[in-house]
């Protein structure tokens, strides 16, 4: 039997890491809301959804109800604190965006691992557990972009790799489960690898390839073609 989440990390450490990841995810959501000129309520909503969306989706899918986000007040209040900070200090927060990206990458690595382990604990197979682990890490960002009326970043060719590092971290976890090698060391290695891949993708602008032999030169920024209507006589 592989160790559960509380065996991988002590409860206090796990809780602190969760709150730190939720906080930086909430900041990224709140910053996007500010750029979109949302009001204070919109900023708070986007921050909450970005921070908690992936975990909520995972818990609902595996039947872990009520979800952790509704049983721990800290999970709910932390995004509101992040939203308030961005509301009043968003120019300063924008200036440390590099640091925010680093912590966001750390949250990505942590959540893809803990999400995969929790899904497996609730009886899912290895492939499904890895998929839900990845969804835990990236789901909030997808919901954030949808609320902001944007194509989700993980689907855009002009964005640095985001889902792939989470996928790699989740895959390492299920391989460790498969070969009975999951422990605090191997799970920590999975977190670090996902974290490092995301940072390298940001630094070197690694992107997924587009369709093979793609002939169209159009980019997302190009306006759609319009037909010229004949002038009426």
Angle between helices 73-95 and 40-62 (to 10 degrees): 130
Residue 216: its pLDDT value, please? 59
pLDDT at 233: 38
CA Rg value for the chain: 19
For position 227, what pLDDT does the model report? 52
| pLDDT for the residue numbered 220 | 52
Distances (CA, A) of 106 to 186, 214, 215: 16, 34, 37
Phi-psi region of 230 (alpha: psi -120 to 50; beta: other; left: phi over 0): beta
Q: Residue 16: its pLDDT value, please? A: 85
How far apart are the C-alpha atoms of 7 and 175, rounded to whole Å? 18
Of 108, 121, 117, nearest in space to 174 by CA: 117
What is the C-alpha to C-alpha distance for residues 131 and 49, in angstroms, rounded to an integer?
A: 20
pLDDT at 154: 87
In 3D space, the residue among 200, 208, 198 whose CA is nearest the CA of residue 169 turns out to be 198
Taking residue 171's Cβ as centre, other Cβ atoms within 10 Å add up to 20
The rounded distance, in Å, linking the Cα atoms of 74 and 93 is 22
pLDDT of residue 232: 46
Could you give the residue ranges of the DSSP H alpha helices within 36-96?
40-62, 68-71, 73-95
- End-to-end C-alpha distance for the chain, whole angstroms: 81
Question: CB atoms < 10 A from the CB of 68, how many?
Answer: 16
pLDDT of residue 195: 96
Whether the Cβ atoms of residue 5 and residue 114 lie closer than 8 Å to each other? yes
Query: What pLDDT was estimated at residue 230?
Result: 52
pLDDT beneath 70: ranges in the chain:
1-10, 216-233
């Amino acid at each position: 039997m592989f160790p559960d989440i509380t065996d991988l990390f002590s409860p206090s450490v796990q809780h602190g890491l969760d709150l730190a990841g939720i906080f930086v995810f909430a900041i990224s959501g709140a910053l996007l809301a500010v750029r979109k000129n949302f009001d204070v309520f919109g900023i708070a909503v986007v921050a909450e959804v970005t921070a908690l969306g992936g975990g909520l989706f995972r818990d609902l899918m595996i039947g872990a109800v009520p979800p952790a986000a509704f049983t721990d007040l800290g999970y709910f209040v932390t995004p509101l604190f992040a939203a308030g900070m961005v509301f009043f200090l968003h120019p300063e927060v924008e200036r440390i965006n590099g640091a925010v990206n680093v912590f966001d990458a750390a949250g990505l690595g942590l959540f893809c691992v803990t999400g995969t382990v929790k899904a497996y604990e609730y009886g899912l197979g290895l492939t499904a557990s890895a998929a839900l682990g990845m969804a835990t890490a990236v789901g909030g960002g997808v919901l954030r972009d949808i609320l902001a009326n944007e194509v989700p970043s993980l689907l855009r060719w002009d964005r640095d790799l985001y889902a792939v590092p989470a996928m790699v971290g989740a895959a390492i976890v299920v391989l460790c489960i498969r070969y009975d090698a999951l422990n605090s060391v191997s799970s920590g290695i999975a977190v670090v690898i996902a974290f490092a891949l995301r940072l390298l993708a940001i630094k070197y602008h690694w992107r997924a390839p587009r369709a093979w032999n793609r002939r169209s030169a159009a980019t997302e920024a190009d306006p759609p073609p319009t037909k010229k209507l004949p002038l009426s006589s």
